[in-house]
Chain A
Amino acid sequence: MTAYWFEGGVEDVEDAVEGLRNEAPEEAADLPSLAVESGVFTDEEHYYNRLHEATLEHARRRIEELEPEDSAVVHAVRTLDELDDAGGRLRQRVEDWRGDSEPVAEAEDVVDAVEDAREELRERVEREVRDVAPNLSKIAGPLLAARLIAEAGGLDSLAKMPSGTLQVLGAEDALFRHLQDGTPPPKHGLIYLHPYVHETTPEHRGSAARCLAGKLSIAARVDRYSGDLRPELKEELDMKIQEIQSRGEGG
């Protein structure tokens, strides 16, 4: 039905919510006065109260219909890892083959196609994760940000995680070995991929990892709950890491 939302009646919220899904009329209009003139509402206050109730309910339902963007990132990262494995194994297989005889051209085409697909997917992941988690991506770099989200099972879980858990995320084996056998605890998991961790000398690497994990944790929470951009997080981290890396120098 082509009509403004209230034209089909607004007796109860369900009618009103249904009305919001009406097909678009010709043009945007002065709805409150139109609606009051039509006699559907006693006054604008009445109009707005009903509209508020209806838009809240409609919005809740629309949200349920949308795919969570971070779940797209999680799927994409996992697919990326699969493509990595598959591409690597295929490449190895074709190389082995080449050692003995000439592999058929189709096999090499497949390897190339897998590697192209991987590259394309990587770019897509980087783009999407910047939208979903801009602060986390700024500090971690988009790919590490995506891996952290995937490993946690979503931005929501990552944001709820204590930073000490985030720090060793991806090093669960070492963590459980530590808990069970008393081996030294892991200092870092996935975040080892970050230059601030792997480029710091082993002596100070634990401090760098702890400091980075703290900021990543804050960034994930800002991305999940507020959505603002906080460039100062990165600046603060840069300063702290510089301080950690210069410890013991010239002393």
Chain B
Amino acid sequence: MTDIEWRDFDGVEVPTTSGEAAADEPVVDGRRVWHPRRSKLAAALVKEGFPGWRKVLYLGGGAGTGPSYVADTAEAVYAVEFARSPARRLVEVAETRQRLFPVVEDARKPEIYRSYVEKVDFLYQDVATRGQADVANANAEYLRSGSTAWITVKARSEDVTAEPEDVYDDVEEELGENYTVEGIVDLAPFYDDHAVVTATKI
């Protein structure tokens, strides 16, 4: 486990980590470039800065590339992914990292992994389903009080007819039962119609 280091890449200050490459990411001076155009979490880091984390619950772990970067910089990462093909890759990536734990379950039913996923101090969520606030609320029990959650919202997957601003407002309101929303970080120019809601667990 080492820190994130910032490097200039394509004229942008991007986060880098040290660890075995997990996909086809560029490696500069032995550092894995975490490119803000390839990862929403990297885009959020570029725009918001490193929030610091030790133990992380990563919902929507995909093929494991995002979780692998987090695992390079954290004590333990639990990556939840329920789709078969990305989950296969996730397991392969987890084989290369001692502290990356694959969880092949539905993030909407978090009680299933309660027997082995511990309380964490950072929640990152990037799930491609509607009802992103529901998923964040259901998993709030895993986040320590006062800790940070970053929840990516894709305006279009919530309601195709709504304006992006309206969708973010709705998510903010729904999160209210478990979180205090601190801000909404637009991921442009790296991702269109995507934002990260930054929130603190109540």
Contacts and interface: CB of A to CB of B under 8 A. Distances in A.
Nearest to A232: B37
If over half of A's interface residues share one DSSP class (helix, strand or loop), that class is named, otherwise mixed; here it is helix
Interface in B57-100: 62-63, 65, 76, 82-91, 94-95, 98-100
A56 interface: yes
Interface of B: 23-24, 38-39, 62-63, 65, 76, 82-91, 94-95, 98-105, 111-112, 114-119, 128, 141-142, 191-192
Using C-beta atoms within 8 Å of the partner chain, give the interface range for chain A: 35 or more
Interface stretch (A44-52, A83-91, A113-121, A200-208): A44-52
Contacts of A69: 83-85
A8 to B, nearest CB: 10
Contacts of B117: 28, 31
A19 B113 CA distance: 11
A68 to B, nearest CB: 5
B24 to A, nearest CB: 8
Interface stretch (A57-65, A96-104, A170-178): A57-65
Given A24-B115, A28-B142, A55-B102, 17 more contacts: A4-B115, A23-B115, A25-B115, A28-B117, A31-B116, A31-B119, A32-B76, A52-B101, A56-B94, A56-B102, A63-B84, A66-B82, A66-B84, A69-B84, A70-B85, A225-B23, A227-B86
Contact of B116 (A51, A66, A131): A51
A21 B105 CA distance: 11
Contact of A29 (B87, B111, B118): B118
A30 interface: yes
B120 to A, nearest CB: 9
Contact of B87 (A23, A63, A231): A63
